[in-house]
Amino acid sequence: MTKLPNNISETHKGLIKKEFSCLELTKSYLDKIKKENKKYNTFINLTEKLAIGQAKKVDDKIASREKIKLLEGIPISIKDNILVEGYKATAGSKILENYTAVYDATVIERLKKAGVIILGKTNLDEFAMGSSTENSAFGSTKNPLDITRVPGGSSGGSAAAVAANQCVVALGSDTGGSIRQPASFCGVVGFKPSYGAVSRYGLIAMASSLDQIGPLGKTTEDVKLIFDVIKGKDKLDSTTVSLETQNSRLRQGFGGQAKLKTQNLTVGIPKEYFGKGIDSKVKETVKRAIKDFEKTGAEIIDITLPHTDYAVAVYYILMPAEVSANLARYDGIKYGYRPTADQLKADSNLLDLYLKTRAQGFGNEVRRRIILGTYVLSAGYWEAYYSKAQKVRTLIRQDFDKAFKKVDIILTPTTPTRAFKIGEKKDPLSMYLSDVYTGPASLAGLPAISVPCGRLDGLPLGLQIIGPQFQDSLVLEAAMLYEQIS
């Protein structure tokens, strides 16, 4: 193939018009990944056998003149902390380097039924802990727009793969911004659904009260199409809910291609997201994007989310606490990495095995968060740190509840800066501050999307749109509206 399609609609039309076969399309993407992976390091493993088999099935349907569904034959990449049966799931860690998934995650099961082509597993910060994809045991991913810079994290491989057109769409996971922040850095669209909107069954757990699987793509329409397939209740995840079809808050236009228009849409701008810490040029760019919304007739009002300043501290107490519990299962006994007999002393006991396994299997950032989480849960500190953080989390959620009594959606910057240089942030705290604008929505369990809103010195910036819990459709529609007017 001379040119790869840009989005789901273009790919679908090409398949049904027989401009290319699904097998030809799939092989073109696989060849592109193999050619470019040394440069960008977007993929940890390819699922080539699976992809070829899926592509042949789509071609057989087309050959027999069966109607194919919109997502059949669409090449997708999967973050390597989401299980695909029969293929490795490393979570970017040496401790799971040779672990092969024995079942499909629910989202993979649903995508397979929809007929997508799974190309491979993308790179990530180890166990999804990071904001740059520099923490992977398999090397850093490079930003395709500037290979001296990070793609963001932890879903950096997925965002970079979409940006480099190594797939049409991708799946990532978002705990404190891990879909939205890399989407902003790579100039693509990234959507974190409401907590409970998408099943976490088959997602390697990091922080169970925060983790959420979501899609990345070049357009909001593509992201919505994937979300519509993976969303909904799952008996294997008790936190999931059935999302009822919501009435559109935006009216449809007529003539030619239907266009969204605002209908009494009220947009909130929180002052706390435009204070100190944000790059002045990022602020200017986002303010211009907000002005675009105003031109559509939406009412723009200033709001306050007073506990925003505590969000990073709350997140980095609660998340490590859950990490310390979830990662206790990696002990060198049941599965995953285990030191060899030569690496253990002759008189070693069970504790020695645990310590050696974790020291050799986990990277620095994972060990740091386990230690921090164990500390805040320990006797004498639980009340001072963990319990207090949970109370402030409730206050953050209440801030959003009050705001959404006045406004339909909230607009903020996705990140305070553009993509930073690889190796630039050596202090963990400065890295953690990358989540300053994405963390609050995660703590409150709200749907939030990052859409490209401009560039700074050639590098993309993102506009974040946040909506009330389970109003995922409204957030997606608002993002599509912005794409039409920007």
Starting at the earlier edge strand, list the strands of the sheet with 43-46.
Answer: 43-46, 117-122, 75-79, 169-174, 212-217, 189-192, 448-456, 459-466, 409-413, 266-270, 299-303
Using CB atoms within 10 A of its CB, is residue 484 exposed (0-12), middle (13-18) or buried (19+)? middle
- Please confirm, yes or no, whether 154 is among the known catalytic residues: yes
Q: Which residue in 123, 120, 204, 192 sits closest to 157, CA to CA?
A: 123
Closest by CA to 100, choosing from 124, 116, 123, 84, is 84
CA 179 to chain centre: 2
Per-residue pLDDT of the chain (486 residues; tens, 9 = 90+): 778 999 999 999 999 999 999 999 999 999 999 999 999 999 999 999 999 999 999 999 999 999 999 999 999 999 999 999 999 999 999 999 999 999 999 999 999 999 999 999 999 999 999 999 999 999 999 999 999 999 999 999 999 999 999 999 999 999 999 999 999 999 999 999 999 999 999 999 999 999 999 999 999 999 999 999 999 999 999 999 998 755 666 665 433 345 666 667 899 999 999 998 899 999 999 999 999 988 888 899 999 999 999 999 999 999 999 999 999 999 988 888 988 888 888 768 888 899 999 999 999 999 999 999 999 999 889 999 999 999 999 999 999 999 999 999 999 999 999 999 999 998 888 898 889 999 999 999 999 999 999 999 999 999 999 999 999 999 999 999 999 987
This prediction's pTM: 0.95
Q: Which of 93, 154, 184, 194 is catalytic?
A: 154
115: number of Cβ within 10 Å: 19
Task: Give per-residue burial for 278-309: e unless 16+ CB within 10 Å, then b.
Answer: beeebeebbeebbebbeebebeeeebebebbe
Largest CA distance in the chain: 80
Element (H, E) at 44: strand 43-46
Closest to 203 (Cα-Cα) out of 104, 290, 299: 104
CB 39 within 8 A of CB 141: no
The residue annotated as part of the active site, out of 178, 184, 194, 324, is 178
Element (H, E) at 229: helix 220-230
The C-alpha atoms of residue 73 and residue 87 are separated, in whole angstroms, by 20
For residue 254, the model assigns a pLDDT of 37
Q: Is 269 helix (H, G, I), strand (E, B) or coil?
A: strand
Query: Which H/E stretch holds residue 217?
Result: strand 212-217
CATH code, residues 8-230: 3.90.1300.10
Single-letter residue type at 41: N
Whole-angstrom Cα distance, residue 445 to residue 199?
Answer: 14
Task: Considering the candidates 21, 61, 77, 79, report the single residue annotated as catalytic.
Answer: 79
C-alpha 130/C-alpha 206 separation (Å) is 11
- Domain range list for the chain: 8-230
Which residue has 């399609």 as its token pair?
A: 5
